[in-house]
Amino acid sequence: METLLEPLQYAFFQKGLFVASLSGALLGFIGVFIVLRGMSYIGHGLSHSIFGGFAAAQLFASSFYILGAGIWGIASALAITAVTKRSRLGADAAIGVITTASFALGVALFAKFGTSGPSFENALFGSILGISSEQIIGLIAVTILTAAFVFLRYRALLFSTFDPDVAAVSGVNVSRIEAMLMIVLSLSILATLTVIGVTLVAAMLVIPAVIARMLTDSFSRMLTYSTIIGTFCGLVGMYLSYYAGVPSGTMIVLVGAALFLLVLSITGARGLRRSAGLDSHTDASALAPLSR
């Protein structure tokens, strides 16, 4: 017990523990919609795209780089949706082009001009110790916004995730819900980027939701389980990060991966059957027109 309490005497660890747990909870919560829509690749792409936004925004307005990166991320998400819907380009291709180009631009800008905000490595792998009070307030605000969005638009979100064509006919503005989900996703990635890092944030969008899907056949329980699992990964990952002396994001993701293996070994074939079909990169039914 003393071993567990020992790091809590440090203010930086208390802050880190809170931020890591909240980040895990947020990504686990919103990740349910991303995973069930088969949009895991969008999460991966957006985190890289926002990295480009970080670099570009610092060049023009170093004090507002978070805002700039957020706008960049949201614009990328909406661009992916628009390009996919209005052209024959598949969503995978659109994500591949838009987000990797944005990431490459970010790397080029960092290399050429350096940075006045978070360092290159911090942005890539996360640095929970470097998080500011403003960023913590931003994380809390995004968490509240995300929870309110899901709560107040629950039926529309569920309907458009399961069956977007019928949802559209039944009075759900599917395009608007998708755009709002993309905005909330972008903000969630942005708020957790400095905690977990560009390269690992997509994993935390996916792992808790997939574990939760293996444990239950109920959507509402999946939301609850995924949030709890995300929180658990953040909490335990932060502790292990302290003792092992490795970046927090890395340990959070490794705890998630270990939990995945544990649940897989317990649930076996039933868990695999439940999680079948979650592996498509894009939500073809939502993005592509109906067949003729």
Partner 1 sequence: MTGTGVGPELITLENVVAGYTHHPVLTDVNFHVHEDQFTGIVGPSGAGKTTLLRLLLGTLKPMSGKISASKDLRLAYVPQLETVSWNFPITVEECVLMSRKSANQLPWASKSEKINVGNVLERLSIGELAKRHIRELSGGQQQRMFLARALLRQPQVMLLDEPTSGVDVATRHDVLHLLADLHEEGIAIVLTTHDLNGIAAHLPHLVCVNQRIVAAGTPAEVMNPDVLEQTFGARMEVLEHLGMRIVIDESPTGSPMRNAG
Residues forming contacts to partner 1 in the complex (CB under 8 A) are: 36, 87-88, 151-156, 158-159, 161-163, 165-171, 213, 216-220, 222, 273-274, 276-277, 285, 289-292
Q: Which is nearer to partner 1, 244 or 284 (CB)?
A: 284
Nearer to partner 1, 154 or 243 (CB): 154
**Nearest distance, CB of residue 153 and partner 1, angstroms:** 6
In angstroms, rounded to a whole number, what is the distance separating the alpha carbons of residues 250 and 268? Answer: 26
Is 144:197 a contact under the CB 8 Å cutoff? no
Question: How many CA within 13 A on the CB side of residue 181?
Answer: 28
As measured in angstroms, the least distance from the Cβ of 252 to partner 1 is: 25
Nearer to partner 1, 87 or 116 (CB): 87
Supply the minimum distance, in Å, between the C-beta of residue 23 and partner 1.
24
Cβ pair 241, 248 in contact under 8 A: yes
The residue among 92 and 163 lying less far from partner 1, judged by its C-beta, is 163
Q: Which is nearer to partner 1, 10 or 162 (CB)?
A: 162
CB neighbours of residue 141 within 10 Å: 12
CB of 76 to partner 1, least distance (A): 23
Q: How far apart are CA 30 and CA 27, in angstroms?
A: 5
Structure tokens, 266: 């317990």
Nearest approach, Cβ of 25 to partner 1 (angstroms)? 17
| Shortest distance in whole angstroms from residue 154 CB to partner 1 | 4
Closest separation in Å from C-beta 155 to partner 1? 5
- CB neighbourhood size of 274 (10 A): 18
Closer to partner 1 at the Cβ: 115 or 285?
285
Q: From CA 281, how far away is CA 202, in angstroms rounded?
A: 13
Of the two residues 34 and 156, which places its CB atom closer to partner 1 in the complex? Answer: 156
- Using an 8 Å Cβ cutoff, are 241 and 251 in contact? yes
C-beta separation of 160 from 177 below 8 A: yes
Cβ–Cβ < 8 Å for 194, 123: yes
CA distances from 181 to 33, 74, 156 (A): 9, 10, 11
